[in-house]
Structure 1
Amino acid sequence: MVSTPKERGFFFPAEWHPHEATWITFPHNDHSWQGDKLSQMYPEYFALIKAISQGEKVKINVNLEALKNFILGELPKYDIDPQQIELFIRPTNDAWCRDHGPAFLIKNDSSERLIVDWGYNAWGGKYPPFDADNQIPQAIAKDVALAFQSPGIIMEGGSVEFNGKGTVLTSRSCLLNPNRNPHLNQEQIENYLKDYYGVDQVLWVSDGIVGDDTDGHIDDTVRFVNENTVITMVEPKVEDENHAVLAQNLSELKEMRLLDGSPLNIIEIPMPEAVVIDEFRAPGSYANFYICNAAVIVPIFDCPQDALALDILSQLFTDRPVIGLSAREIIWGQGSFHCLTQQEPKAAL
């Protein structure tokens, strides 16, 4: 019987662990950004690439040769060092590399790394086709010459949040949704998380925010900023649709205990003003930040709460700058910076 990653000492490190690179999948699907919205989001997307590239390679899954040529032509316009960019031509369906990309595991006191190839079904089959994106982890494993292991169930990177010390946070609304793994109960899903992410503890909140078509990904609501501290989004306006669910999550977080029995240190961040575009409320949230080598990159939405969110996060992340980048165009696709990225951590040695 094949041993699990956990049995072999592998685990998924916290996002602040040093990165070898960041993987992204270049957007081309005009179902996610319809009409001229795709071209309108490109300046924000290239700003994200530039910010990441200041401290690590950006490895990009590119659907076609013509798209590769477009990217190479755009890099000088945004003053992006082409030496920091690596392009890989392969079929892709959409841009959400957090969810369809590989999960890179490391091992303490070792140079070994491993890729976990979770199944991907576009958030419960909502947006077919997704077959090309489902193949990306194995293709990347070949690119970086790493072994991979396939658990055989559906899992998305945006649905799980790690402290790097044995704990994963997730949401019932997503991982227990019958559109993912209807044959598995909560205990069985927890066992998969423990075996294939190398964790010892699974903590659950209830739900996600309005406009989130992923059924409540954790990366829009609660994030670790160190091994015992989380930020959680709150909505002060009682009349707002997000108020009750975020209050419920906060209540649940207060009852949680880490492996050593200690409570979470919880920092509240108010939600941005509702981001409504073409009568659609997008899932705008400051929790969808991305921690890379050079910075913590926070989506901002041109509203008064932006400055407060950046100030709170700057006090929490003291080892690298916290920068706000506009995500008003990107968010129309129902995701932001964390959803678009997947880190490739450096080996422990």
Structure 2
Amino acid sequence: MNPKTNQTEGVTGGFPADQGYYFPAEYASHEATWLSWPHKEASWPGKIQTIYAPYSKFIGHVAAGETVRIMVRDRSMEEFATSCLEKESVNLQNITFHHFPTNDAWCRDHGPAFLVNPAADQKKVIVNWNYNAWGDKYPPYDLDNRIPEQIANYLGLPYVSPGIVMEGGSVDFNGKGTLLTTTSCLLNPNRNPHLSQSEIEDYLRKYYGVKQILWLGDGIIGDDTDGHIDDITRFVSDQTVVTVVEENRRDANYEPLRENLKMLESFRLLDGSPLSIVELPMPSPVVYEGTRLPASYANFYIANCCVVVPTFRDKNDDRALELLQRCFPDRKVVGVDSLDIIWGLGSFHCLSQQEPKV
């Protein structure tokens, strides 16, 4: 494995884990949240204009507690984005725009992976994974694939390029050495067909600074990412996960989610302790133009001052919000309508990437 790095001091010449770097939990303090302003109509065919109000509401909640850095193509897109934010009374003082053009909006997957080491002289570095739009499903993605390097150069941070495909939505972390993922995504031959499971684990350990990888199985129906973990199971503390369950036995999600729950119950963390598991309901199936969409309350985003949860005008919305509020007693849990956004096959977590504070 020969990592490619830029010439900035930091990770040049070695793996991030060897130098004490690791990917923090999302609930650790953020320096900022990075977003790529949605503009690709093919991602929301016939609906893109309807997403800007809820997307701007999401930004408003996050910006109440941290800087939000929004990537746009040019001045014209920045002006349009500003007008959308102003309509939702977003405080623009915490908003900054960056003219980094993108192909699409899914910053969780094409954005940088920020690692930290508080004891190092260079306290923050970036992993520049390759990105291929979930197995070459939605070309072109050349602009998206350049984003981590552009952000690293803008921030003056060193970066390391492992040379394989990896997406932020496919992994979740407790910041204490444990990573959650799925076999359906990371072992899919449309990502890294030349790598075995053990070889992929080697990359995860060396480039994310984790010591333990916990593998779940399949994702939810309608998920075009082949089963991202951020639609099913998320860490909410060092030892606690929330995981979605389907209560309707006739639903196609019932069995795979039940299997994932059984696996979670069998796992042990690095200290030998079991996971504390909170079961989160699924909304009723969301179907648009004959397509079942990957609607899930697990696709929430943990910001400094709040947790923004997608809601679906469903009977389980309030229940999901109440369960998550108990998981985050130090943050306000807010629901934002995602019924139009989910037509793009993702929601607030898929759209965002946190930059940790160190």
TM-score (norm. length: structure 2): 0.95
**Contact residue 18 and residue 206 of structure 2 kept, 8 A:** yes
Partner of 1:114: 125
CA distance in 2, matches of 1:188, 1:313: 35
How far is the alpha carbon of 1:256 from its aligned partner?
A: 0.7
CA distance in 1, matches of 2:95, 2:198: 41
SS of the equivalent of 2:260 reads helix
How far is the alpha carbon of 1:91 from its aligned partner?
A: 2.0
SS of the equivalent of 2:184 reads helix
SS of the equivalent of 2:41 reads coil
CA distance in 2, matches of 1:256, 1:45: 36
Partner of 1:31: 42
Q: Which residue of 59, 65, 72 maps to 2:82?
A: 72
Partner of 2:183: 172
Opposite residue 187 of structure 2, the aligned amino acid is: L
**Contact residue 301 and residue 307 of structure 2 kept, 8 A:** yes
CA distance in 2, matches of 1:262, 1:173: 26
> Is the aligned partner of 1:95 residue 2:105?
yes
> Is the aligned partner of 1:336 residue 2:350?
no
Q: Which runs of 5+ in 1 are unaligned?
A: none
Opposite residue 104 of structure 2, the aligned amino acid is: D
Opposite residue 211 of structure 1, the aligned amino acid is: G
SS of the equivalent of 2:70 reads strand
CA distance in 1, matches of 2:87, 2:43: 24
Partner of 1:289: 300
Partner of 2:139: 128
How far is the alpha carbon of 1:279 from its aligned partner?
A: 1.5
How far is the alpha carbon of 1:3 from its aligned partner?
A: 0.9
SS of the equivalent of 1:337 reads coil
The within-5 A match list for 1:309-348 is 309-347=320-358
CA distance in 2, matches of 1:337, 1:149: 27
**Contact residue 34 and residue 70 of structure 2 kept, 8 A:** yes
Opposite residue 21 of structure 2, the aligned amino acid is: F
271-280 or 184-193: which moved more? 271-280
The within-5 A match list for 1:197-236 is 197-236=208-247
Partner of 1:42: 52
How far is the alpha carbon of 1:66 from its aligned partner?
A: 1.4
CA distance in 2, matches of 1:203, 1:228: 13
- C-alpha distance after superposition, 1:271-307 (max 9, x if no partner): 0111111211110000000000110111010111011
How far is the alpha carbon of 1:75 from its aligned partner?
A: 2.6
> Is the aligned partner of 1:262 residue 2:287?
no
> Is the aligned partner of 1:308 residue 2:319?
yes
The within-5 A match list for 1:146-165 is 146-165=157-176
Partner of 2:5: none
SS of the equivalent of 1:296 reads strand
CA distance in 2, matches of 1:262, 1:344: 29
SS of the equivalent of 2:17 reads coil
Partner of 1:104: 114
Alignment coverage as a number of residue pairs: 346
CA distance in 1, matches of 2:73, 2:138: 17
- C-alpha distance after superposition, 1:132-177 (max 9, x if no partner): 0000000000111111110100000000000000000000000000
CA distance in 1, matches of 2:100, 2:311: 31
How far is the alpha carbon of 1:108 from its aligned partner?
A: 3.4
Opposite residue 99 of structure 2, the aligned amino acid is: I
How far is the alpha carbon of 1:63 from its aligned partner?
A: 1.8
**Contact residue 103 and residue 144 of structure 2 kept, 8 A:** yes
How far is the alpha carbon of 1:90 from its aligned partner?
A: 2.0
CA distance in 2, matches of 1:130, 1:182: 19
How far is the alpha carbon of 1:68 from its aligned partner?
A: 1.0
- C-alpha distance after superposition, 1:11-64 (max 9, x if no partner): 0000011001000000000110112x0101110110111011000011011023
**Contact residue 52 and residue 84 of structure 2 kept, 8 A:** no
**Contact residue 117 and residue 124 of structure 2 kept, 8 A:** yes
Partner of 1:81: 91
SS of the equivalent of 1:28 reads coil
